[in-house]
A and B are shown apart, each in its own frame.
Chain A
Amino acid sequence: MKRYSDLEYLRLSKGQKFLYKLASFFLAIPRGIGTFFLGIGRFFKKLGVGIGKEISDVVMTFVKGDWKTKTSYLVMGFGSIARGQMLRGLLFLLFEAVFIFYMVTAGGYWMSMLPSLGKIGPHEEYNMVLDTHYTVYGDNSFKILLYGVLTLFFIVAFLYTWRLNIKQNKISEDILRSGKKLKSGKDDLRSLVDDQFHKTLLALPLIGILVFTVMPIVFMILVAFTNYDGSHNGYSNALFTWVGLDNFKTIFSWDVGGVNYAATFGEVLTWTLIWAFFATFTNYFLGIFVAMMINKKGIRLKKVWRTILVLTIAIPQFISLLYVSKMFDINGLVNGALMSLHITDHAIDFWGTPWLARIMVIVINIWIGIPYLMLIATGILMNIPADLYESSRIDGASGWKQFTKITLPYMLFITGPYLLTSFTGNMNNFNVIYLLTGGRPTNPVASGAAGSVGYTDLLITWLFKITTGSDTKYYLASVVGILVFLVVALFTLIVYGLLPSVKNEEDFQ
C-alpha cells in the first residue's frame, strides 16, 4: 500500500480517508507481530549481554580483590563480617546456609526428577501376609513440577544474592581504599526507612506477586508441554510427563480423536473478538451519550439520574446478572410479560438461539457497562475548555458537528489507553458471559472438544470449563491461556503503536 504524507492524506476524500485508516490498521498487524518477536529477541540479547558483563565483572573482582573478597566467593558474607559489617555479613551467611541445607535435603531431589516428572507411577503390589493386592503410590508428578519450579526460583535467587555479595565486597574495598568509613548495621537499618525506603515498601507486595502470580504462571506455561489431565493427575491414577509441542499441534489440527479443535478454537476466538469489539464500543459511545445528556445545561436532577445508573455498579454483578439471566428464560418474567401483552403467542427462547443469545449478551452488557463510562466521560467532559464550544457556535457549528469535531476527538485522545485496556478486559470478561449464559447454546461444531463449548463462550470461559468439567484437560487449558496471552499482547502492541498519545508519565508531575 502507498503511504501518504500528511498533506496528501488531508487531500483525500472522506471515504478514502476511512479506507486508508482501515488498511493501515490491518497492515499494522504483521508489523505488530514482527515487533513482538523482535522485542522477545531483543530481550534475550540484552539478557545475554548482561549476563556476560556480570561474569566478566565477577572474574575481575576475584582477580583484583584481597583475601577477604576471595573467601567471600565460597563463604558468603565473609568479607562483610571481616570488615566489621556484622549485620549484612550474617544475613548473607544465613542465606547461604539455608540454601545449602535446602538443596541437600530436598532441592536436589526435585531438580533430579524434573526432566522425567517422576519414574514410578501408582502400581499394584502383592501382600503375602494378607494375600491381597493393594495399590502403592510412587512419585508425584505434580509436586515434582511444582517444587522443581520453586527450586529453580530459589537457585536464581541464590545466584543473585551471591552476585550481590561479591558486588558488596567490591564496593567496600573501594570505599576503604578512598579512606572513608563503611556503613554500620545501624545505618543499614536506618536507610530502610529512608534512602532505601522503596525496598521496604515493595518487599511484601513483590513477594506476593512472585509467589502467587509469577510462579503459577511459569508452572502453567510448563504444563502446556505436558499431558497433565484428569486421567494423568500425576499421583493417584497415572503420572504425567513432557510431551513437547504436541498440545499446540492438537489445538491447531482438524481431527484429533474425532474432534475438530482448530475449528472450535477458531470459532471461540472469532466470537471473543466480536464480543470484545461490540462490548467495548457500544458501552463507550452510549456511555458518552448518556453522560452528555445528564450534563447538558438546563437538565435538572443530575444527581438522581447518576445515582440510578450507578446502581449496577453498586450491586454485586452475580446478583444482577444471574437475575437478569433468569428474567429472560423461557418461563421467565420477560416472556411472561410479552405473552400477557400479546406481543408473542409463544415464549421466545432467548438463550437457546445462537444469534439471539449473542445479541442479548451484548445488550445486557450495556446495562452493566454504561455507568462506568458515564462516570469517566463526565469527568472528562467537564475538562473540555468551554470556549471551544463557544467559538464553534459563533462559527455556526451544529450540535452534531460540535460532537464529532470537538467532544469525540478530545475523548478519544484522552481515553485511548482506557479503550485498549477495556477491550482486552472484555476479551477476558468472565462474569458477564458465565453468569448470563454459561456459554449456552451448545455449539455442534465443538461437540467433543473438552468442556462442551457453546456459541457465547469466550476463550476465558472455555478455559474455565476445561478445568472444572468432568473431563479436565489442564494441558489444553494451559495452551488456551497462552494463546489468550499472545492475542492480548499482540493487540496491545499494535494499538499502542497507532495511538496518537503514547504519553510521557513524567508530564503529570
Chain B
Amino acid sequence: MSNENIAELEKRKRGMGLKASARLSNTIIYILLVVISIIWIIPFLCIVLQSFRVESTWKVGYVIPQQWGFDNYVKLWSTNFPRWYLNTFVIALVVAVVQTLIVLCMSYTLSRFRFKMRAGLMRFMLILGMFPGMLAMIILYRVLDDLGMTGENMLPGLILVYVASSGMGYYVSKGFFDTIPKSLDEAARIDGATRAQVLTKIILPLAKPIVIYTILTAFMGPWGDFVFARYVSQLKPLGMNVAVGLQSWLATDTMTHDYYTLFCAGGVVVALPVAILFMCLQKYYVEGVTGGAVKG
C-alpha cells in the first residue's frame, strides 16, 4: 500500500469516527429536545383537555375527560368573563397605540439628540427604575379612588397609569435606533429637512421592526397585568381584567371547587388569540429581545 493510500484511509477512518460521534451526540440532543418539548407542552395540553371536561368542575387527578363537551365554554358567557375580556381588550388596544407613541418619542430623542440634560435624564430614570413600582401603585390607587376611577369605572384610570410611565421602558428601542446610521439624518438635514421630517420620512420607515415589537409588547402587557389591576378593581366583579377575574376563581378552595374547569376554558379563550398574535409576530419579538439584551 502506498503512503498516499494509508493517508487516505486514515482520513476516512477519522471522518467516520467523527461522523459516528456526531450522530451519537445528535441523537442525545434530539432526545433531550423531545423531553423538553413535552415538559413545555404538557401544562398547556392539560388546560385544553380539562376545559372540555363535563362530568365535574373541580380539580381531579386525571387529565383526559370522561365526558367531553363545550359546556364550560358555554357557561363562560353567563359569568362576568365577557366583561373582563372586553375590559382587557379595550385597555390593551389603547395602551398599544399610546404607549408605542410615547416609547418611540422617548427612545428616538435619547438616541438621536445630544442636549444638555440628556445624560442626567437617563441616569435619573435608571435610578427611578430601581424603586419597586409597587410603591407608586399604592398612592396612585388612592388618587384614582378619590377621583372615582376605581371599581367598575376603572378603565380610564388604569389606561392612564399604564401609559403614563411607559416612557421609562425606552431601552430596547433606543438600542435599535442607535444602530441606524446617523449619516442618514445628517444627509437629510443638509437637504433641508426639519428634525420632525427626518423622523417621519426617514427613520420611521426603517424602524418598522422595532415599532411592531413595541406595539406587540404593549398590547400583551395588559393581558397579564395582575398587581395594579387588582388594586384598582377593588375586587368588584365588573371592574376586573381577565387576570384578576380568573385569579379570583381560584382564590379559595370553595371557589376552585366550582370554577376550576371554567378557569381552564377562560384561560384557553384568553391565551389563544394572544398566543396566535405572538406567534405571527415572533420574528419581530426575537429581533427586539436579542437586540435589547446585547445593547443593554
A275 to B219, CA, bound (A): 29
B207 interface contact, C-beta 8 A: no
Q: When the two chains form the complex, which single residue of A209, A317, A376, A505 contacts B293, counting CB atoms closer than 8 Å?
A: A376
| CB closest chain-B residue, reference A421 | B296
Q: Is the CB of B165 within 8 A of A194?
A: no
* B279–chain A nearest beta-carbon distance, Å: 6
Q: Taking the complex as formed, is A484 at the interface, i.e. its CB lies under 8 A from any CB of chain B?
A: yes
Is A322 a contact partner of B263 (Cβ separation < 8 A)?
Answer: yes
Q: What is the interface of chain B, defined by CB distance below 8 A to chain A?
A: 22, 26, 29-30, 32-33, 36-37, 39-41, 43-44, 46-47, 59-63, 102, 105-106, 108-109, 113, 115, 125, 127-128, 130-140, 142-143, 146, 160-161, 163-168, 175, 178-179, 181-182, 194-196, 199, 220, 223-224, 226-227, 230-231, 242-243, 246-247, 250, 256, 260, 263-264, 267, 270-271, 274-275, 278-279, 282, 285-286, 289-291, 293-296
Residues of B within 8 A of A212 (CB): 136, 140, 160-161, 164-165
Given contacts A212-B136, A220-B138, A375-B286, contact A320 B44 (CB under 8 A): yes
On whether A417 and B296 interact (CB within 8 A), knowing A217-B135, A335-B61, the answer reads yes
Query: What B residues does A417 contact at CB under 8 A?
Result: 296
Is A317 in contact with B224, judged by CB distance below 8 angstroms?
yes
- Report the bound CA distance from A282 to B138 in whole Å: 33
Q: Give Cα A425 to B192, complex, Å.
A: 45
Across the two chains, which residue of chain B brings its CB closest to A336? B61
**CB within 8 Å for A481 and B131 given contacts A314-B279, A319-B246:** yes
> With contacts A335-B61, A509-B182 known, is A415 near B105, CB below 8 A?
no
Cα A141 to Cα B36 with chains together (Å): 56
A192 to B105, CA, bound (A): 14
Q: Which residues of B contact A327 (CB under 8 A)?
A: 43, 46
13 contacts between A and B (CB under 8 A): A143-B146, A212-B164, A216-B136, A219-B139, A293-B33, A296-B26, A333-B63, A375-B290, A380-B294, A435-B226, A460-B134, A463-B135, A508-B178
Q: Complex formed: what's the CA distance from A208 to B167 in Å?
A: 8
Contact of A322 among B29, B32, B247 (CB under 8 A): B247
Q: In this complex, what residue of A is CB-closest to B163?
A: A208
Query: Does A308 belong to the interface (CB within 8 Å)?
Result: yes
Please give, as numbers and ranges, the residues of chain A lying within 8 Å of B115 by CB-CB distance. 198
| Distance between A228 CB and nearest chain B CB, rounded to angstroms | 10
Min C-beta distance of B203 to chain A, whole Å? 12
A48 to chain B, nearest CB (A): 16
- Once the chains bind, are A379 and B286 in contact (CB under 8 Å)? yes
A209-B165, A339-B61, A434-B226 given. 14 additional CB < 8 A pairs? A198-B109, A212-B165, A213-B164, A293-B29, A309-B37, A323-B267, A333-B46, A340-B62, A378-B290, A379-B289, A380-B294, A460-B132, A468-B231, A485-B130
Q: Which residue of B140, B161, B226, B289 contacts A376 across the interface (Cβ within 8 Å)?
A: B289
Residue of B22, B61, B109, B137 touching A333 (CB-CB under 8 A): B61
Given known contacts A307-B279, A327-B46, A216 and B113 CB-to-CB distance under 8 angstroms: no
Question: A357 an interface residue at 8 Å Cβ cutoff?
Answer: no
Complex: A85 Cα to B278 Cα, angstroms: 53
A329 touches B (CB below 8 Å): yes
Question: A interface, how many residues as a size bin?
Answer: 35 or more
Say how far B141's CB is from chain A's closest CB, in angstroms: 9
In this complex, what residue of A is CB-closest to B295? A508
Contact B194–A202 (Cβ < 8 Å): no
Minimum CB–CB distance from A194 to chain B (whole Å) comes to 4
Contact indicator A463/B224 (Cβ below 8 Å): no
Residues of B within 8 A of A319 (CB): 47, 246, 267, 270-271
- Residues 188 to 218 of chain A near chain B (Cβ within 8 Å): 190, 193-195, 197-198, 200-202, 204-206, 208-209, 211-214, 216-217
A214-B128, A315-B44 known; A305 vs B243 contact (CB < 8 Å): no
Nearest CB on B from A303, distance (A): 10
Nearest CB in chain A to that of B189: its residue: A194
A346 to B183, CA, bound (A): 69
**Whole-angstrom distance from the CB of A274 to the nearest CB of chain B?**
19
Q: Name the contact of A509 in the complex, choosing from B36, B160, B178, B274 (C-beta under 8 A).
A: B178
Using A208-B166, A212-B165, A474-B138 as known contacts, say yes or no to A318 and B246 having CB atoms under 8 A apart.
yes
Q: How many Å lie between the Cα of A259 and that of B289 in the bound state?
A: 45
- Check A323–B134 contact: CB distance below 8 A: no
Q: Smallest Cβ distance from A184 to chain B, in angstroms?
A: 17
B135 A195 Cβ-Cβ under 8 A: no
CA distance A327 to B264 in the complex (A): 12
Which chain A residues border B278 with CB–CB below 8 Å?
Answer: 310, 313-314
What is the distance, in angstroms, from B68's C-beta to the closest C-beta of chain A?
A: 18
Cα A503 to Cα B296 in complex, Å, equals: 9
Distance to closest chain A CB from B183 (angstroms): 10
Q: Report Cα–Cα, A214/B279, bound state, in Å.
A: 36
Write out, one digit per residue, whether chain A residues 411-432 have a CB within 8 A of any chain B CB (1) or not (0): 0001101100100100010110
Q: How far is the CB of B253 from chain A (nearest CB, A)?
A: 9
A28 to B139 Cα, complex, angstroms: 36
In angstroms, Cα B212 to Cα A87, docked, is 39
Q: Note all chain A residues with C-beta closer than 8 A to B128.
A: 209, 213-214, 217
The verdict on A318 contacting B224 (CB below 8 Å), with A312-B40, A477-B135, A485-B131 known, is yes
Which A residues, 469 to 494, have Cβ-Cβ distances below 8 Å to chain B? 474, 477-478, 481, 484-485, 488-489, 492
User: Contacts A319-B246, A323-B267, A477-B135: A308 and B41 contacting too (C-beta < 8 A)?
Assistant: yes
Using CB atoms, name the residue of chain A closest to B111.
A509
Cross-chain contact B294 with A379 (CB below 8 angstroms): yes
Q: Cβ of A324 < 8 Å from any Cβ of B?
A: yes
Interface core residue of B62, B224, B256 (most chain A CB under 10 Å): B224
A153 interface residue, CB < 8 Å from B?
A: no
Q: Is the CB of A310 within 8 A of B138?
A: no
Q: Report yes or no: A146 in contact with B143, Cβ–Cβ below 8 A.
A: yes
A326 cross-chain contacts in B, Cβ below 8 A: 59, 250, 256, 260
Contact B286 A309 (CB under 8 A): no
Chain A contacts for B263, CB-based, 8 A: 322-323
Q: Counting CB contacts under 8 A, is A116 at the interface?
A: no
Q: Which residues of B contact A185 (CB under 8 A)?
A: none
Residues of A with C-beta under 8 A to B43:
320, 323-324, 327
Name A299's contact: one of B30, B133, B181 (CB within 8 Å): B30
